[in-house]
Structure 1
Amino acid sequence: MHLSLRLQPCRTGDGLPLFPAALPGADVWPAHCLTEAVPRPMPRMSVGTRLYTEDGTALFCVTGRIWLTTPPRLSHAHAYSCPMLTALTDIAPLPNMDDAVRLEVRKEGHSLAWITLSDKGSQGMREDLSGPAIADLAAAHLPLCHSQGFLLPDDAARLRALLTDLALNQGYDLICTTGGTGLSPRDIAPQVTAALLDLPLPGFSQAMMAASLSKTPHAAISRAVAGVLGQSIIINLPGSRKGVQENLAAVLPALPHALDKLHGDPADCGG
């Protein structure tokens, strides 16, 4: 798949929304937006998708989706949900800013979101060690095209909203939570996750429980769940770095195959 875009000068790391030329107001949207050169429906691009030049240089990576509010000149128009692109290299001004650049759109690898649930962590009172452990372990076993961490208090409504957005709007492949899997009054990860799932993955939960019980009998009180929401796999993990490593290691061997099947791989499972 290819897109023809009108590029804006930017530096590595800059974020630029991508606005469809097919929608009203494409000619008056703020200058920091990228716009398509050819009016047509915007293809769906999940997080981790990259845009490449003809020589194979990656210019942008999709790192989220945002709602663009209506410019003042279009006071009666709607807001639009647009991909948020992060520049992967410096882009100099073009001789003619109206010229379009044809870019190839493809996604290679998987996208990972990890959510740390911690009241103290969200207030800056505790360093998050378990979240980065998820990113490190996953990157060592899966080809990752994008990863992003999120830090929340132990709040059911905020976790529900974030899981829904990451899975159904932004399109992350793998979403891991850490913390909130036990019996404390503020432990809300399992019930929030279970209420959202399209499909449970009891085998993942059983594998994690078996791995934890081999280390400590206290693992029996874990209520962690795993399952599918949209085309995302969600896994609840413990709140400690050690617990994250033990539990995630128990399911990592099955994750590549699970993600392939979830995304429509037609190959036979037998071997």
Structure 2
Amino acid sequence: MLATETIHTLSLHACAEGDILPLAFLPATAAPSPYPAHGAAVRPLPDGNRDWRIGTCLFDASGTARLKVVGRVLLPHTALASEGPHAQACPLLEALTPLEAGTRTFAARREHWALAWITLSDKGAAGLRADESGPLMASETRAKLPLCHEQGFMIPDDPQALRSLVMELALGQGYDLILTSGGTGLAPRDTTPEALLPLFDRRLPGFEQAMMQTSLAKTPTAAISRAVAGTLDRTIVITLPGSRKAVSENLAAVLPALGHALEKLHGDPSDCGK
């Protein structure tokens, strides 16, 4: 993966390993905030949408990763003890080791890829069915791609909910790869392609054809699958059927090309033939 490194000086709140706190610009003249937050020593804040994509780690002078970006949150000025009226979009930092309070300098860089997987299931979202395909998407991807972060989501078969979540994960948090499971067939609630096709910057017909070809070799009913794949900014989005068997078969068809596809999407200038 193409990795860039930036240097930042931060004022840290004391944290135990696993604690998650936002990184915010805290004015020195402001009253103490009732909500703990790490502070950025200089403006502007790191851009959680672009430069600090999900999975970015902060390394200390010894080269040890001490903090990792695991999301983002909008904090109102009241939570930040700020005198201004504006909310801030703040990266959420997870402490990878215990941290003492104080100001120190970190090198921020991201290595490997961030995966989000989404299971679409009305029954699953209602707690009436265990998610089997979601963890499978994660484990099979992890076996083929080096990952710096992964997170799963369970939502109903609701096109608006899916569309909103994918846009936030891709454009807001900066996941590299989003896999969905479910909603690609012909049932009345199968609306995954309709939800996501309008978002794509570019379709990936080769991925779609590879999944169809592999599935048809297993069963003729695969012909009714409407699975789609495409890019949204620097994120690849792939929709998969809902069953464990179909998830495994379809992923096997595209995983060999995914690493190269992600590299090219992120600006790798090397020749594809090499």
Q: Same fold (TM over 0.5)?
A: yes
Cα distance in 1 between the residues matched to 2:29 and 2:8: 19
Taking a change above 3 Å as real, the CA distance of residues 26 and 179 of structure 1, as seen in their structure-2 partners, is: farther
User: Identity of paired residues, percent?
Assistant: 52
Q: Distance in 1 between matches of 2:231 and 2:32?
A: 40
In structure 2, the partner of 1:48 is 55
Residues 20 and 42, structure 1, Cα contact 8 Å, conserved in 2: no
Q: 1:200 to 1:25 in 2, by over 3 A?
A: farther
TM-score where L is the length of structure 2: 0.92
* Distance change in 2, residues 1:26/1:264 (3 Å): farther
Q: Is the 8 A contact 1:15 1:84 kept in 2?
A: yes
Aligned residue for 2:38?
34
**Are 1:82 and 2:90 matched, yes or no?**
yes
The structural deviation recorded for 1:39 is 3.2
Instruction: Read off the aligned partner of 1:206 and give its amino acid letter.
Output: Q
1:228-269 per-position Cα deviation (integer Å, ceiling 9, x unaligned) = 001000000111111111101100011011000000011111
User: Map of 1:218-237 to 2, 5 A cutoff?
Assistant: 218-237=221-240
Alignment counterpart, residue 60 of structure 1, candidates 61, 64, 67:
67
What is the number of residues matched between the two proteins? 265
Alignment of 1:158-197 (within 5 A): 158-197=161-200
The 5 A counterparts of 1:210-249 are: 210-249=213-252
Task: Give, in angstroms, the shift of residue 31 of structure 1.
Answer: 4.8
Distance in 1 (CA, whole Å) between partners of 2:18 and 2:127 is: 25
Contact 1:19–1:26 at 8 Å: present in 2 too? no
Any idea what the Cα deviations from partners look like across 1:165-192, whole Å, max 9, x if unmatched? 0011101000000011100011111111
2, 25, 30: which one pairs with 1:20? 25
Distance 1:25 1:150, change over 3 A: farther
Aligned-residue CA RMSD (Å): 1.7
- Contact 1:181–1:187 (8 Å) recurs in 2: yes
Number of the residue aligned with 1:133: 136
Deviation at 1:41, TM superposition (A): 4.5
State the Cα deviation string for residues 3-61 of structure 1 (Å, max 9, x = none): 1111111112211101135x798775445111112333524300010011111111111
Asked if structure 2 preserves the Cα contact closer than 8 Å seen for 1:53 and 1:103, the reply is yes
Corresponding position of 2:78: 71
What runs of 5+ residues in structure 1 fail to find an aligned partner? none
Q: 2: distance between equivalents of 1:139 and 1:105?
A: 23
Name the CA shift for 1:124/1:41 in 2 (closer, same or farther; >3 Å).
Answer: closer
TM-score by length of structure 1 reads 0.93
Q: Residue type of the partner of 1:32?
A: P
Mean Cα deviation higher: 31-40 or 56-65: 31-40
Contact kept in structure 2, 1:178 and 1:236, CA below 8 Å:
yes
Unmatched segments (≥5 aa) in structure 2: 1-5
Structure 1 residues 202 and 30: alpha-carbon distance in aligned structure 2, compared to 1, 3 A threshold: farther
Runs of 4+ that moved beyond 6 A: 23-27
Asked if the contact 1:172–1:232 (Cα under 8 Å) also holds between the matched residues in 2, the reply is yes
Aligned to 1:103: 106
Instruction: Decide whether aligned partners of structure 1 residues 222 and 10 sit closer, same or farther in structure 2, where only a CA change above 3 A counts.
Output: same
